[in-house]
Every structure is written in structure tokens, then in C-alpha cells.
Structure 1
Amino acid sequence: MIDLGPHAVFIIWAYLGVAIAVGGLIAWTLLDARNTGKKLSELEARDPRRSAS
């Protein structure tokens, strides 16, 4: 095990906090992309003349 010195607790909590924050941002982005895709599908279904296909 690596000796982190007297500040080991702070270092571990700092890395954990960053990991949780990054995980939260990734989850938020994925959920937002899913919601945006649903809204886009609804808009395309409303007026099929304007779809890009």
C-alpha cells in the first residue's frame, strides 16, 4: 500500500468526491440525452413532413 502520509484521509475523500461528482455529471448527461431524444421523437411524429429521413 502507498503511504499517503498524515493527509491520507483528506486525499482519499478528495478523490472520492471527485469520482462521485464526475459520475453524477455522466449520469445527468445520459438522462438528459435520453429525454432530449424522446422530445425530438415526439416533435418528428407531430409533423412527419419535416423529418430528415
Structure 2
Amino acid sequence: MLSHTAFVLLSYGAAAAVLGAVFVWLFVDRAATMAELDRLEQAGLKRRSAATDGKDR
């Protein structure tokens, strides 16, 4: 049976591993999304937020 200290350390380690995996996933997903946006902009599509007329909708 685990001691209390070992349980706490394993729990913190598991939480840190999950948070680390989430951050890695976020950075990988952001890179993929930015690459897709660049590809679409090169194909001639623009984002609505990139309007240049200065008017609000």
C-alpha cells in the first residue's frame, strides 16, 4: 500500500502530465490552424476580421 506522501507525489505528477499534454496539444493545434489559415489566404480567401474598409458591421 502506498504511503500518503507517495500518493500525493503520484497525484501531482499525473496532474502535471495531463496539463503538459494539454499544452502540447494546444500548441500543435494552433500551428496546424495557422498553417491552414495561411493556405486559405494564399488561395485568395480572406478572414472577415481582416476587413480594410474601417466600418463596423
TM-score of the pair, normalised by structure 2:
0.73
Equivalent residue letter for 2:10: W
Percentage of pairs with the same residue: 26
Deviation sequence 1:5-46 (CA, Å, 0-9, x none): x41111000000000000000000000000000000000000
Q: Which has the higher contact order (CA 8 A, sep 6+)?
A: 1
Please give the residue correspondences for 1:1-53 in structure 2 after superposition, counting only pairs within 5 Å. 6-47=3-44, 50=46, 52=50
- Report how many aligned residue pairs link the two structures: 47
Structure 1-normalised TM-score? 0.78
Higher helix share: 1
Extract unaligned runs of 5+ from structure 2. Answer: 53-57
- Root mean square deviation of aligned Cα: 1.6
